[in-house]
Amino acid sequence: MKPALSTEHLTVSYYTPQGPVPALRGVSFTLFENEILGLVGESGSGKSTLALAVMRLMEPDRAEVSGQVTVGSKNLYDLSARDLQRLWWEDIAMVFQSSMNALNPVLSIGDHFTDTFLAHRPMMRMTEIRQKTASLLQQVQLSPKLVRSYPHELSGGMKQRVVIALSLALDPKVLIMDEPTTALDVVVQHSILAEVAAIQRERHLAVLFISHDFSLVSGLAHRIAIMYAGELVEITERDMAIGNSTPHHPYTEGLIQATPRITGGRVRIQGIPGEPPDMTRLPAGCPFWERCPKRLDRCQTVPLPQQTGHTFIRCHLTGTSSLSSSSSSKEGMAHGE
């Protein structure tokens, strides 16, 4: 498999009056071509920060960023501002969290597409723009007639489909989707997910799909990455994630148990006790130590990731062997250090 997007030791610390506070801690992962990688974790785990850092959208006066982000053969953090603008939406695009509220209320849907095309391809003819816009709207199950409509005339699900279509306008190779179905009802949510899966297969996209909903991601992604306290604690294959006999990181097991399930005619949910750690006072070892029902004394030291193919678990319970950064890079392993 060929990498479409990779990060190496990506670290983000936000500036606060009390000093820098870590949000991402040395996160490294690989997203392969023609793959959906799901990213799951509780609120505050660093998922959206990761998306913004990957896109190089962190404001320099708000946070310090280090590490590398590579799309194809280009390191985004080595590019000039002009080259970065060319790369956005053509090589990598993003559907932002609550992005359906980001449409300009005074522009028609057609104007949104026209502005997008002309900003990157100023020589593009209006006839071609109209044809391309109609095709994109149809691809997300919307009528081309909506080009004359304004955002306030569309439902939440329709606006979200428009935003997805806009993200695909310039045929990117990589698409990041940050909670794209938040605030939508279950029926519309599953409809959009089915369209995302179909578009990904048709275009052979590499998709990083971010969500707090483990069950939603497990039905869509090929692999699932679990984030906790600013680092990746596990990456698992989808089939392994929904199996009952596969060993997982205790935090992953907690997310699986927190998924609603029907037992004896009743819906049962088992939550994870406790709260995520204070990022200003992280424990010395595993950040999940205080909440973990399986914790050991050695969990107060930093666990090393245990790799199997393109999956891994960062937990003392999975063994004692260590991995070198060079071998993990070659294998395309995703991990946080």
pLDDT in tens, 125-172: 999 999 999 999 999 999 999 999 999 999 989 999 999 999 999 999
Across 175-189, average pLDDT: 88
Q: Is residue 264 in a domain?
A: yes
Q: How many domains does the chain have?
A: 1
Q: Is residue 59 in a domain?
A: yes
Which tokens belong to 74?
């280009």
How is 34-65 classified by DSSP, letter by letter?
A: T-EEEEE--TTSSHHHHHHHHTT---TTTEEE
Q: Is residue 175 in a domain?
A: no
Domain range enclosing 69: 3-33+42-91+222-286+300-336
Q: Would you place residue 270 in the very low, low, confident or very high pLDDT band (cuts 50, 70, 90)? A: confident
* Nearest-angstrom CA–CA distance, 272 and 278: 16
Which tokens belong to 178?
């940050």
Query: Do the Cβ atoms of 250 and 293 come closer than 8 Å?
Result: yes
Find the length of the chain. Answer: 337
CATH number at residue 323: 3.40.50.300
Does residue 324 register a pLDDT over 70?
Answer: no
Q: Would you place residue 306 in the very low, low, confident or very high pLDDT band (cuts 50, 70, 90)? A: confident
Q: Would you place residue 303 in the very low, low, confident or very high pLDDT band (cuts 50, 70, 90)? A: confident
pLDDT in tens, 229-267: 999 999 999 877 765 567 899 999 999 888 766 556 665
Q: Is residue 242 in a domain?
A: yes
Residue indicated by tokens 């063994």: 319
pLDDT at residue number 268: 66
Within 10 Å of residue 22's Cβ, how many Cβ atoms? 19
pLDDT at residue number 238: 84
Say which residues have a Cβ less than 8 Å from residue 160's Cβ, sequence separation at least 6. Answer: 99, 100, 180, 181, 184, 192
Does residue 327 register a pLDDT over 60?
Answer: no
Q: Is residue 122 in a domain?
A: no
Q: What is the residue type of 145? A: K
Q: Is residue 232 in a domain?
A: yes
Q: Is residue 201 in a domain?
A: no
Q: Is residue 306 in a domain?
A: yes
